[in-house]
Amino acid sequence: MIPAQFEYVAAGSAAHAIDLLGQHGDDAKVLAGGHSLLPMMKLRLAAPAVLIDITRASGLAGISLDGDEIVVGATTRHADLASSDLVRTEAPLLAHAASLVGDPQIRHRGTIGGSLAHADPAADLPMALLVLGGSVEVSGPSGTRRVPADAFFTGFFETALADGELLTAVRVPRQPGVPWGYQKFVRRANDWAIVGASAINGRIALANMGSTPLRASAAEQALAGGASPAEAAELAAEGTSPGEDIHADREFRGHLARVLTKRALEHLS
Partner 1 sequence: MQVELTVNGVLRSDEVEPRLLLVHYLREVCGLRAANIGCDTTSCGACTVLLDGESVKSCTVLAAQAAGQDVVTAEGLAGDGELHPVQQAFRNEHGLQCGFCTPGMVMAAVGLLRENPNPTEDEVREGLEGNLCRCTGYHNIIRAVLAAANGAAEPATAQAEVTA
Residue numbers at the binding site for partner 1 (CB under 8 A): 1-8, 31, 34-35, 38-39, 41-42, 51, 53, 55, 79, 102-106, 108-109, 189-190
Q: How far apart are CA 258 and CA 208, in angstroms?
A: 13
Nearer to partner 1 among residue 117 and residue 132 (C-beta): 117
Torsion, Cα of 140, 130, 151, 116 (10° steps): 40
Q: Please report how close the Cβ of residue 103 comes to partner 1 at its closest, in angstroms.
A: 3
Q: What spatial distance separates the first Cα and last Cα of the chain, rounded to whole Å?
A: 42
Q: Which helix (H) or strand (E) holds 87?
A: helix 85-90
Nearer to partner 1 among residue 69 and residue 191 (C-beta): 191
Nearer to partner 1 among residue 106 and residue 218 (C-beta): 106
Q: How far apart are CA 169 and CA 139, in angstroms?
A: 9
* DSSP code of residue 149: H
Give the Cα-Cα-Cα angle 37, 40, 46 (nearest 5 degrees): 90
Nearer to partner 1 among residue 13 and residue 99 (C-beta): 99
Q: Please report how close the Cβ of residue 186 comes to partner 1 at its closest, in angstroms.
A: 11
Nearer to partner 1 among residue 105 and residue 241 (C-beta): 105
Q: Please report how close the Cβ of residue 233 comes to partner 1 at its closest, in angstroms.
A: 28
Q: Please report how close the Cβ of residue 34 comes to partner 1 at its closest, in angstroms.
A: 6
Q: Please report how close the Cβ of residue 269 comes to partner 1 at its closest, in angstroms.
A: 18
Q: Is 46 exposed, middle or buried (0-12, 13-18, 19+ CB in 10 A)?
A: middle
